[in-house]
Amino acid sequence: MIRHHVFFWLKSSGDVVARDRLIAGLRKLADIDLVRELHVGTAAGTGQRDVVDQSFDVSELMYFNSANDQDAYQLHPLHIEFVRECEQLWDKVVVYDTVDV
């Protein structure tokens, strides 16, 4: 199983309209049959510690059955449409892909 965790920093951090538009776009990605699970969220606002980064605006965590499924997702028309419709909202994106050990 592949975990695909993506963090987004908006061009206008704190812009609720942009944040909600990005969240709505991300939620549509659940319609892609290759996506096993999708979780969309914002920083939890937990206590400040040196190791906790709460600077991002929105994150999404997806689960895929395999690396091949994750690769195919990148080329899926709904994913391409999401990027086209939402990329002007973010300033920075960081991706962490992980597997179980």
Whole-prediction pTM: 0.93
Tell whether the torsion through CA atoms of 73, 78, 80 and 86 is positive or negative.
Answer: negative
Q: What is the predicted pLDDT for the residue at 68?
A: 97
Average pLDDT, integer, range 67-81:
97
Q: What is the predicted pLDDT for the residue at 87?
A: 97
Residue 77 has pLDDT above 90, yes or no: yes
Q: What is the predicted pLDDT for the residue at 14?
A: 86
In the structure, what pLDDT confidence band is assigned to residue 17 with cuts at 50, 70 and 90? Answer: very high
Output the average pLDDT for the chain.
Answer: 95
Residue 26 has pLDDT above 90, yes or no: yes
Rounded to whole angstroms, the Cα distance separating 67 from 65 reads 7
Contact 92, 11 (CB under 8 A): no
